Structure 1
Amino acid sequence: MKTAVFLDRDGVINEVLTNRVKFVNKKSDLYFLPGVQEAIKKLNAFFDYIFVVTNQGGVGLGFMKEAQLVKIHEHMVDELKKEGAIIDDVAYCAHKPKAGCECRKPGSKMIEDLAKKYDVDLSKSYMVGDTDTDIIAGKKAGTKCVYLGESDQLADAIFPDLAQAADWIIEDCQKE
């Protein structure tokens, strides 16, 4: 079986709720956080897959069309690829935040579906997120979880950014 790192998008890969951008509703709103490209490249060297799993309720709420979201993700993947950072697949929940769907984090369906599609061993994989819902989704799926921020009771590790988290993840996976 393969291994993977599952990354939330907003707040992990790109800016959100900053002075420069509130939400990413078009390609020009996508600004990578510092060190993200290098962190993903490092993870690419140790894991079979890097996936993005993201709640995008803005589609369900009518702030953007699903076709726009797909273009944003294609742009993100293409821009990262130019720097040698490979995202293997992107899963998203486009439903409204309170729609009650199975795919929206804290549900683990997006993670589990990708794991099934790519034959990933979730017990040897990691979820990285900046909200409790990301960590809960990862725990439900059976991954180790890394929280980006100040504190989280459920996370296996806490770091301020993906660059530092990537170093820990690589070190931790080498212990196995």
Structure 2
Amino acid sequence: MKLIILDRDGVINEDSPDYIKSVDEWHPIPGSLEAIALLNQFGYTVAVATNQSGLARGFYDETTLNAIHDKMRLSAKTVGGHIDSIFYCPHGPNDHCDCRKPKPGLLQQIAAHYQISLTTVPYVGDSYRDLDAANRAGAVPILVLTGNGHKALSVDSAFDFAHFDNLLAFAKTLKNS
């Protein structure tokens, strides 16, 4: 199985410092849905791993989050893409859970779900927190410069990672893998 894990906000859709709190606030980053379709064409199963502390903060409920994810899946489908699974951390930053990135728990849940080692699995994110989670989980950290990507480049990292302008630019590099 060829698996790829994507962060949501800032990688697939536009991010907001005020959170994505409704279906109407969810807008795909240009090219991201086409990137998902391309990844599928290349034989990749696409999983999403996303922190959603807006749940813990009371900004939206699980019904709204599910509706946002339904819109994301349907939007990908309209261009020939498929998102196989979505894993999210519903906790706030002070909840001390194991699944809130940069902790590796969310990625470990995905590994267990697919019964796969993450050693060759790319995790594409737009923040240093995403890269750190990938590194801790043993996945391959990939940075896109959409969302908060430029800020993440300024962090002095203890590990190596590749970076790309956006998800579509990264997806195109996987054509022959």
Same fold (TM over 0.5): yes
Cα deviation for residue 3 of structure 1 reads 2.4
- Name the CA distance, whole Å, in 1 between partners of 2:111 and 2:83: 14
Residues 14-163 of structure 1 aligned to structure 2 (within 5 Å): 14-17=13-16, 22-149=18-145, 150=150, 151=153, 153=157, 154-163=159-168
* C-alpha deviation, 1:166, in angstroms: 1.4
For the residue of structure 1 that corresponds to 2:142, the secondary structure is: strand
1:155 Cα deviation (Å)? 4.5
Instruction: Give % identity.
Output: 33
Bigger helix fraction = 1
SS at match of 1:59: coil
Aligned residue for 2:92, secondary structure, equals coil
Do the aligned residues in 2 keep the contact of 1:59 with 1:94 (CA within 8 Å)? yes
**How far off its partner does 1:156 sit?**
2.1
Shift of 1:121: 3.1
The alpha-carbon deviation at position 135 of structure 1 amounts to: 0.5
Q: What is the aligned partner in structure 2 of residue 6 from structure 1?
A: 5
User: Which amino acid in 1 is paired with 2:128?
Assistant: D
Q: How far apart in 1 are the matches of 2:169 and 2:2?
A: 20
Amino acid at match of 1:124: T
What residue identity is the alignment partner of 2:10? G
Query: Within 2, Cα distance between the matches of 1:146 and 1:71?
Result: 28
Structure 2 residues not aligned, in runs of 5+ = none
The count of aligned residue pairs is 168
Unmatched 5+ residue regions in structure 1? none
Deviations 1:103-149 (A, max 9, x none): 11111111111121112331121000011110111111111111112
CA contact (8 A) 2:47 2:83 kept: yes
Q: Distance in 2 between matches of 1:17 and 1:67?
A: 20
Measured after TM superposition, the shift of residue 46 of structure 1 is: 2.6
Deviation, structure 1 residue 17: 2.6
Q: 1:155 to 1:72 in 2, by over 3 A?
A: farther
Structure 2 length as normaliser, TM-score?
0.88
Query: Which residue identity is paired with 1:74?
Result: D
